[in-house]
Structure 1
Amino acid sequence: MSIKAAAAETQNNRAQLLKSFHQPGNPLVLANVWDALSAKAIAALPSTKALATASYAVAAAAGIEDQELTLADNLRAITGIAKVAATYNKPLTADLQDGYGAELQDAVKRLIELGVVGCNLEDFSRGRNGLYEVDEAVSRIELVLRVAAENGVPDFVVNARTDSLLVGLSIDEAIARGKRYLAAGATTVFIWGGRARPGMRTAEVEQAATELGGRLNVSMARVRTGGLGVQELRDIGVARISVGPQLMMRTIGAVAEEAEKIYRGEPVEKDTVIL
């Protein structure tokens, strides 16, 4: 076996591992990262099975809005995160947003070159400011998987996000799209409820988990109270739990709080490490 073929086999083994973590009722829990530093902090935890990026957080770290994040911007952040993932031997899945229109094929190739073994792919086109027609959204998932297979990762994991609820469609319509995406080869479906709504209701999560056979990704609320926790989502039977940019939001708040203590001249706490 050539060195290149051996490397591809190793990468596909990581993809298979990532896919195996998606078990309805025993979900993969992801604390999404946004740069190499956050990736290192998360990867070092014994409980971390895999790393996942969040495009909103990646964009915020670059000083731009999520909709302004280009493929080049995204890949720049993923490059550093991928190095951390390789160091800690953790599978990495990347938030590819809507796939950047006609750049989708190149985007997948670039991800695989970096060692990435999965991605989030949205069905809301930023260029069109609306949902892709379902057949086109399906064909884009199929394209991702075809390109991944051609580049040595046939078990590449797609978490197919639908923004049906975000644009005012019903949960039934979101689930119908989700079923098409799973049939196209997606590992899981992420039904995004949006911030204004906000999110999915418990009954909707239960309905989607049932009708999608548990192959559902749910974004767990960490910046507001009243949301479903890991155990509750496990009991419902979902296969994947993520937090999107919420970890970054909480981190920034902690940084500001600590900085304010410094400004006020508060004494150093006993367990603080002095460099």
Structure 2
Amino acid sequence: MGDQNELAKAFKSLHVPGDPIVLANTWDAITAKAIGSLPETKALATASFAVAAAAGLEDEELTLEVNLTAIRAIAKVAKALNKPLTADFQDGFGDKLEDGIREVVRAGVVGINLEDFGRELGERGELYPVEVAQDRIRRVMKVAADQGVPDFVINARTDALLVGKPISEAIERGKAFLEAGASNVFIWGGRERGGTTRAEVEEASKALNGKLNVSMMRMAPGGLSLKELKEIGVARISVGPQIMRKTQVFVAEEAKKILDGVPAF
């Protein structure tokens, strides 16, 4: 586990406000190898939406078992490449949180995304109370430390904006999550809301001392660029399932050429 914690330390050190770690999210061993083999790739990261889609599921239908299967396959690639791997662990899968984290750490993962929106709460899910969300972060860090990875990296996601809360509340939740042991905060804006505005990103980055993850929109016009996000001072950038969505278009186009008898050359 010593080598794994060294990878965790290395991954944590890549979160530098103004010089962020950029993660091109993957969802299976094939994409992990393609992305991880690039010299520009400093670490690998999974995207739960893409992992679910690859299994024929909606994001909210993703089970711990299906997620772990994908994580283990990607972890083998990360280990072979000697690069850190962080996994999208959604809301922690309810009361399976500790057991799931043990399996994730055993697979070689050095960090996770952990959401504060509990799918098991109420009829349609709702935000965990701040104190409960903090406790879940502490529980993850304890399990990871017990497994020999005390420098485990939690990217704590808040869905406060998605349920109609203001950016100020999302920031306060983020501060509480950092206090509980998270390394970074991800304030998710969501497709329905149209993401987060530049003003919101700037406010959050300043309030959280740059310990902010932003999803960089590559497939929609008007999104903040890498240069702009560096200037704002964020520490982490990801792209979620955007690469997966783009590959779907490419695969369909190539398949159509084959089915139409278009010559390869």
For 2:148, the aligned partner's letter is G
1:193 aligned residue: 189
**SS state of the match for residue 24, structure 1?**
coil
Structure 2 counterpart of 1:112, from 105, 115, 119: 105
Structure 1 counterpart of 2:255, from 256, 259, 266: 259
- Length-normalised TM-score, structure 1: 0.94
Structure 2 counterpart of 1:213, from 204, 209, 213: 209
* 1:111-162 Cα distance to aligned partner (Å, 9 max, x none): 0110000000000000010000000001101111111001100000000000
Q: In 2, Cα distance between the equivalents of 1:255 and 1:209?
A: 37
Please, what is the CA RMSD of the aligned residues?
0.7
* Cα deviation, residue 185, structure 1: 1.2
1:149 paired with 2:142, answer: no
Q: In 2, Cα distance between the equivalents of 1:118 and 1:12?
A: 10
Q: In 1, Cα distance between the equivalents of 2:235 and 2:136?
A: 23
The sequence identity of aligned pairs, in percent, is 61
* 1:92-113 Cα distance to aligned partner (Å, 9 max, x none): 0000000011110111100011
Structure 1 counterpart of 2:89, from 92, 96, 99: 96
* Cα deviation, residue 234, structure 1: 0.7
Give the 4+ runs in structure 1 shifted more than 4 A: none
> What pairs up with 1:50-129 in 2 under 5 angstroms?
50-128=43-121, 129=125
Q: In 2, Cα distance between the equivalents of 1:19 and 1:258?
A: 39
Q: In 2, Cα distance between the equivalents of 1:203 and 1:161?
A: 19
- Length-normalised TM-score, structure 2: 0.98
Return 5+ residue gaps in structure 1 as ranges. Answer: 1-7, 270-275
For 1:78, the aligned partner's letter is I
* Cα deviation, residue 222, structure 1: 1.6
Return 5+ residue gaps in structure 2 as ranges. Answer: none
For 1:225, the aligned partner's letter is P
* Cα deviation, residue 167, structure 1: 0.4
**SS state of the match for residue 166, structure 1?**
helix
For 1:125, the aligned partner's letter is G
Q: In 2, Cα distance between the equivalents of 1:97 and 1:66?
A: 9
Structure 1 counterpart of 2:37, from 18, 38, 44: 44
